[in-house]
Amino acid sequence: MSRECLPQHEVLLITRTATSCFTALESKFYMATELHWAGIGLRLLLTVAAGSLLGMERSRTGHAAGLRTTLLVALAACVSMIQMSLLIQTNGKPQNSYVVMDLMRLPLGILTGVGFIGAGAIVRRDDLVTGITTAATMWYVTVIGLCMGGGQLILGSTSTAIGFLVLWWFRILENRVERYRPAELAVTVTSEQLSAQALRKHLLAADFRIKSLSMTNKTEQHCRRFDCDLRWPAVTGSGDIPASISEIEGWPGVVEIEWRTNGTSS
């Protein structure tokens, strides 16, 4: 039935009913601005659950910023938002004061401070970089704490589930993905049986990508040294030496092999 066929009072009744339903639905997703101890306790409880879930995943995989660090970061963000909500009524310039309060600086300061924690979690040794995922987790759990403290409980809970899915399930997926990792290979030989062309051919046959290949003649030691900058197909987390590299050890005249892998670690 079209809207023109309905009486005006029925149209108004349907409009009011729909508005009240949307208002009731919206109230289930957002908590009231006026805080009580029950609401504060619920926000803190959900923050503890979110921080513990993500923190246990970091602790289980042996990272420095584990359960306690992640939980404290989440609680700090949550408490800052709760404090901002409690002070919201005093926002602005009181009549008897020259001070103007900018309450948004409190959660923004928390985000800035977490940047220093994240920077401390990232460690670089030569070409090996570790702690990037841990630093990103600190930043992410801070945003979750801000959501929980601000009363966005559905958004915070959903973000917690997504974050745990990324840290746990995507780790399994990433470990199955083959990707090229940087590596360095140095081969020292005492005879002229191994040439640069033969070494290049062997590496290319093993699906290595050669970025550079150089040779150094050591006339006093009667040997030659080949230095290679490579990219090799390796599964994330695999520390095994490729079989094609181990084969070089058995070649005639080979006296020394140096193999070093570089890359990133979460």
pLDDT in tens, 172-192: 777 776 677 788 899 998 867
Question: How far apart are alpha carbons 158 and 29 in whole angstroms?
Answer: 12
**Which residues are within 8 A (CB) of 92 and not within 5 positions of it... i.e. 6 or more apart?**
100, 101
CATH architecture of 179-265: 2-Layer Sandwich (3.30)
Q: In the β-sheet with 128-130, what is the strand arrangement from edge to edge?
A: 123-125, 128-130, 263-265
pLDDT of residue 25: 47
- 3-state class (DSSP) for residue 213: strand
Q: Alpha carbon 158 to chain centroid distance?
A: 17
| pLDDT higher than 70, residue 98 | no
- Hey, CA dihedral for 75, 77, 81, 86, is it positive or negative? positive
Q: Alpha carbon 191 to chain centroid distance?
A: 49
Q: 126 in the Ramachandran plot: left (φ > 0), alpha (ψ -120 to 50) or beta?
A: left
**Which residues are within 8 A (CB) of 28 and not within 5 positions of it... i.e. 6 or more apart?**
none
pLDDT in tens, 143-155: 999 889 888 889 8
When mean pLDDT is compared across 89-98, 206-215, 240-249, the lowest value belongs to 89-98
- 3-state class (DSSP) for residue 265: strand
pLDDT in tens, 37-54: 888 889 999 999 998 988
* pLDDT, averaged across the chain: 78
pLDDT in tens, 122-142: 777 666 667 888 888 888 999
Q: Domains of the chain: which residue ranges?
A: 1-30, 32-175, 179-265
pLDDT of residue 90: 62
| Beta partners for residue 182, in sequence order | 231
pLDDT of residue 46: 92
Q: Is residue 151 within 8 Å of residue 85, measured between CB atoms? A: yes
State how far the alpha carbon of 113 is from the alpha carbons of 18, 25, 75, 76, 105, in Å: 44, 36, 14, 10, 12
Strands 128-130 and 263-265 turn out to be parallel
The DSSP-derived string for 33-68 is SS--HHHHHHHHHHHHHHHHHHHHHHHHTT-SS-HH
